[in-house]
Amino acid sequence: MAVSTLASLGDTRRGLEVRQLEEEGAVYQHPETGGFLNLTDIVAKEPEVQEVQLPSGGERPFEIEGFPLPAGRTLRITTIGDSRVKMNVTGEVLATVKGTLRLEGLDMFSEPVDDGCGGCDVGFPPLLDILEGGTVEIVESELRVPLGELAIAVKGSLILREAIIAGAPFNATLNSGMLTEFASDTLPLAAMELQGSQDAAWFITGVKQGMRHHQCSLPEVFFEGRCQ
């Protein structure tokens, strides 16, 4: 199979390399087990990339800020290896999706944002914001957010296969450096699909051992425990 080298995504410090595989599309293999992962650059600068592969086995999680996935764009983020990869979302969201995103073999968690108000209840944006026309498929992965906060807003389409969405106590994330505990007693969803519409959207929040979903009539959003 012929292999050609594309640009290094503007990050020569880590020696990043993108390889074009004729039959599978463009695949980016991250050279490290953990560290900062600049998916914004990958999506924006290399439109040919369709899959980001992350090696498992590292002790530290991948650190990622939110990134946009535009309409017409397909991106798969998958784990290479025998164990799932931890991903710490350090920005307000993991992704704003208008295209098609597939997440496989990941443990994704988000910590409360330090807004300077001393832990006041201001609400958090969804970890995944699936806009109209967007599709997200989560396979053999777990999303963990502060207890009761938004995990996913679905105005497009969400597919869950062997996936877990759960919450963690707010104070368990403070001063801990990272939220690394994932629920072992939460049964994964074998298969579930939520489809938004022009008139309504689904909002999923994390509870102690699973998830709770709410349907709000547009333009209402789910905030502070209710549609408003």
pLDDT tens digit string along 71-127? 999 999 999 988 889 988 887 788 999 999 999 999 988 766 555 555 444 456 788
| Cα 105 → chain centroid | 11
CB 68 within 8 A of CB 95: yes
In the sheet where 106-110 sits, what is the strand order? 35-36, 62-64, 85-89, 106-110, 142-146, 164-168
Give residue-wise pLDDT tens across range 142-173. 888 888 888 899 999 999 998 888 887 655 44
- DSSP-assigned states of every residue in 133-161: T-EEEEES-EEEEETTSEEEEESSEEEEE
pTM over 0.85: no
CB 18 within 8 A of CB 31: no
Q: CA torsion 65→90→18→50, rounded to 10°?
A: -60
Q: Helices in the chain by DSSP H: which ranges?
A: 39-45
